[in-house]
Amino acid sequence: MNNQIENKDWHCKSIEEIWADCESNKDGLEQQQVEERRIIFGENKLLEAKSKTILAILLDQFKDFMIWVLIIAALISWWTGEHIDAAIILFVVILNGILGTIQEAKAESALEALKNMAAPFARVIRAGTMQRIPAAEIVPGDIIALEAGDSVPADLRLIECASLKIEESALTGESVPVEKNLAVKLERSAVLGDRLNMAFTGSNVTYGRGMGIAVDTGMNTQMGKIAQQLTQTPQETTPLQKKLNQISNVLSVGVLIIAALIFAVGILGGREAYDMFFIAVSLSVAAIPEGMVAVVTIVLAMGMSRMADRGAIIRRLPAVETLGSTQIICSDKTGTLTQNKMTVTSIHSENTELLYQAMGFCNDAQLGAESQLIGDPTETALIDYLLKEKLWDEGSIKSRQRDGEIPFDSERKRSTVAIKQADGMFRVFVKGAPDQMLSLCELQDNALTEILQQNDKMTEQALRVLAFAYKDSLDFNAASVTETESGLNFLGLVGMIDPPRDEAKAAMETCQIAGLTAIMITGDHKGTALAIAKDLGMLRDDRIAVSGAELEEMKEEEFEQKLTQIGVYARVAPEHKSRIVRAWQKRGKIVAMTGDGVNDAPALKAADIGVGMGITGTDVSKGASDMVLTDDNFATIVAAVEEGRRIFDNIHKTVRFLLSSNAGEVIAILVATIAGWNLLAPIHILWINLVTDTFPALALGVEPAEADVMRRPPRDSKIPFFTKKEWGRILVVGLVEAILTLAAFVIGNFYYESASLGTTMAFVTLAMTQLFAAIGFQSERSSVFTIKFKEHNKLWLAFLLSTALQLSVVLVPTLRDIFKLSPLNIAHFGIIALLAVLMLIFIETQKFVARRTAD
Ligand code: ADP
Ligand code: MG
């Protein structure tokens, strides 16, 4: 097969022609062919728009207004002969640019890595067996299996269709799913939407099942043609980033106005324009929190990588923040709270011979390589049982044929197949939830009562129960479901156990302590759901279980009133999930909701955090989620909430630290200017910002979680990022920093009678009070002396590093000269140390009082 095929009219060729064109057959490609084709056609991937280059990121750093103020300051310094000052300012500008670039590049690559983790899989037939492979490895000629919920992984010519419906809006704009049909005869000119015997990359299977031959892959697909014209989608900003941007902008404008005022007042008061200009620049440098937004971005991105390490892949950045304030977790039962390892443990049947037939035939599970079972665990459990008990052998499982089917969906909760017999009759097997099945069977009253009793007994033991039935009929029509699935002969009940996950119990405990409400939502029987919920300890405080049917009966008012009592929803259909989400949201709660099926997509979108399942989830449900669990595990959601809380705490601490530092600088400069003192030059402020805004701010951003993160209730999302009280505390800390700095200046300037010494002492004191404040901010509630040093030592490392940098400027003679500082003796250092430690004592006292007054 070559890649030169110009004529791509796959839709108007016969299937024989397609087989020939693709040099493939019903058994699929051999490994050899696959490898050859991979070389010719490359990976089955849409080329994405290039992510930002390092150079682009670097240039972005210079879009900042602050940078231009500094560059102008450097030019003026140079012009007035202060060449060293100019050089230092430029040096700091460049260093800032480089640091910013490194941070942003790191954040970008973390996001890039996450994208790759969410890559989809596909089921293909190769060398006669079914395999699950990354969709990127598909080559033309591969045979691909499709089922409800799959994203179509390549352009396919369909060879098998069972009620197959595909939603193709990405290509055609038409959101109503198209029912595919093999029998159509198509003109060459048929538009994409009319090509009923084809399935296209990027469309979604919403119903049924099918098979197709991959005819085009990667950029050769119809989607590839469109993708070529796509431009990069912009990175989403989170509500927090937006809010901080706002704070930052308001501060910048405010400061510039103040700086201009001071400049004007100074000039009118007869001071030198040059001096006043530099005071105004110092003030701007001091007050504008230029690094804040960058630090927050990197904290979010690094938080995302940490979440990924714990099994939660974030698909949308804002979810990182929302997770921290999650209050309600609605979780599926099967696979999330349970292991999804089903084992048949009990069978009740009068006619076991036919029941075993039904178990094998009415079943989509496949035998893959090395006798591995591929498929829905409910169905693989049945085959597993048949093979273990030697009721079927592998050969007969592999050679099963069917002549008609009505697929399972979570609405109907049953599935049907038909097999044509030798006499031309169709034998129809149906399996599904007993409550849905029994009304379709012809049963005597006493027989029915007995079956129901049997069913109750099994569900009480936490078994998932399937009922089986059959009938023989003259013809089979998948389109008339009601007629086909009626007048059935009951065959028996099969019960299977799916044990709860071990971690789920502990996670429930954590939820309880952390003020999170966990709710089970399942398509399974109420009895089964209740038994498992009890086992997991989910039914505290007299919480009750409600079935989908009962929910349907309830008026909206009644439901909203009962809402907080309901801990388990059983036998629900996917549309009920959206209703549950909405009801909680109406109460102002932040809701996480899991989902795996196609029909779960609306509820996943409606939830504040839609949680997709990495293993069992359909592509469609993953696409609708904010977060995907790599292990489908409930405990992972709780872990992600913990990470979310940690990240929020850290951003809060970091921003608090940066703003209080800036406040300290501004207040000190303002007071000094009014008093007529030359406190600090712009390069001093620039240096302090460099030393304190980088290492300690980043260290605060990556702090491990505090001991009590999961022991306090969720943060109320309606409370602003900083309350009035918190703004007050930020200002007070800034005020104390300023007082201590001015005290150092006064001691140097008036007691030791040296203006230069005053500046030097103020310079070191300001930096050190900020570093001690960072230590104090390590926890917003607890005392630093109760924090486990071993786990929380990064901040101390940053503290030491920054202290060393700061001291090097006053201790190394050349640097000291460049910064126009005086040498310090032991006494001077002693005074500085005393003043700086006072800062920490102040913050600790502030926290102590807050703890005492319990706020
Ligand atoms: P959940 O995933 O929430 O446990 P499902 O929607 O998968 O629930 O299943 C609901 C019910 O449908 C099950 O209790 C079972 O009786 C029935 N069922 C599940 N899987 C199948 C299947 N493959 N074929 C027929 N019936 C099924
Ligand atoms: Mg299920």
DSSP string, 586-634: HTT--EEEEE-SGGGHHHHHHSSEEEEETTT--HHHHHT-SEEETT--H
How many Å lie between the centroid of ligand 1 and the Cα of residue 479?
22
Q: What are phi and psi of 628, to 5 degrees?
A: -120, 135
**Which bound ligand lies closest to the C-alpha atom of 522?**
1
Q: Beta strand pairing status for 426-432 and 489-497? A: unpaired
Q: Which residue, judged by its Cα, is nearest atom 8 of ligand 1?
A: 523
Query: What's the pLDDT score for residue 853?
Result: 84
For the record, the structure tokens of 505 come out as 């119990």
Q: Which residue, judged by its Cα, is nearest atom 27 of ligand 1?
A: 432
Query: What's the pLDDT score for residue 3?
Result: 47
Q: How far apart are CA 494 and CA 800, in angstroms?
A: 67
How many Å lie between the centroid of ligand 1 and the Cα of residue 525?
9
HSE-CB for 658 with a 13 A CA cutoff? 31
**Is 414 a pocket residue for ligand 1 (Cβ < 6 Å)?**
yes
Query: What's the pLDDT score for residue 6?
Result: 44
* DSSP tag of 147: E
Q: Which residue, judged by its Cα, is nearest atom 14 of ligand 1?
A: 524
Q: How far apart are CA 207 and CA 409, in angstroms?
A: 8
The one-letter amino acid code at 32 reads: Q
Residue of 142, 150, 216, 332 with catalytic role: 332
Residue among 221, 159, 212 at smallest CA distance from 192 = 221
Task: Give how far Cα 75 sits from Cα of 86, 274, 279, 376, Å.
Answer: 7, 13, 16, 70
Output b/e per residue, 208-236; b: 16+ Cβ within 10 A: bbbbbbbbbbbbbbbbbeebeeeeeeeee
| Residue 332 annotated in active site | yes
Q: How far apart are CA 803 and CA 775, in angstroms?
A: 12
Angle at 527 between CA 526 and CA 528, to 5 degrees: 95
Q: Which residue, judged by its Cα, is nearest atom 1 of ligand 1?
A: 523
Atom of ligand 1 nearest to the CA of 521: 3
Backbone conformation region of residue 475, classed left if phi is above 0, alpha if psi is from -120 to 50, else beta: beta
- Ligand 1 pocket test, pick from 413, 438, 493, 599 with the greatest ligand atom count within 8 Å of Cβ, gives 413
How many Å lie between the centroid of ligand 1 and the Cα of residue 521?
13
For the record, the structure tokens of 22 come out as 């693709």
**Which bound ligand lies closest to the C-alpha atom of 359?**
1
Say what the pTM is.
0.86
Atom of ligand 1 nearest to the CA of 528: 14
Q: How far apart are CA 456 and CA 459, in angstroms?
A: 5
Query: What's the pLDDT score for residue 747?
Result: 94
**Is 287 a pocket residue for ligand 1 (Cβ < 6 Å)?**
no
Residue 151 has a CB neighbour count (10 Å cut-off) of 19
Q: Token pair 């069977």 is at which residue?
A: 441
**Is 216 a pocket residue for ligand 1 (Cβ < 6 Å)?**
no
Residue among 302, 311, 305, 301 at smallest CA distance from 238 = 301
Query: What's the pLDDT score for residue 7?
Result: 52
Which residues in the chain land under pLDDT 70?
Answer: 1-7, 48-51, 110-118, 227-236, 854-855
For the record, the structure tokens of 428 come out as 């129809």
**Is 413 a pocket residue for ligand 1 (Cβ < 6 Å)?**
yes
Q: How far apart are CA 679 and CA 676, in angstroms?
A: 9
Output b/e per residue, 351-368; b: 16+ Cβ within 10 A: eeebbbbbbbbbbbbbbb
Query: What's the pLDDT score for residue 640?
Result: 97
Ligand 2 (single-atom ion) residues, CB below 5 Å: 334
**Is 431 a pocket residue for ligand 1 (Cβ < 6 Å)?**
yes
Q: What are phi and psi of 524, to 5 degrees?
A: -75, 170
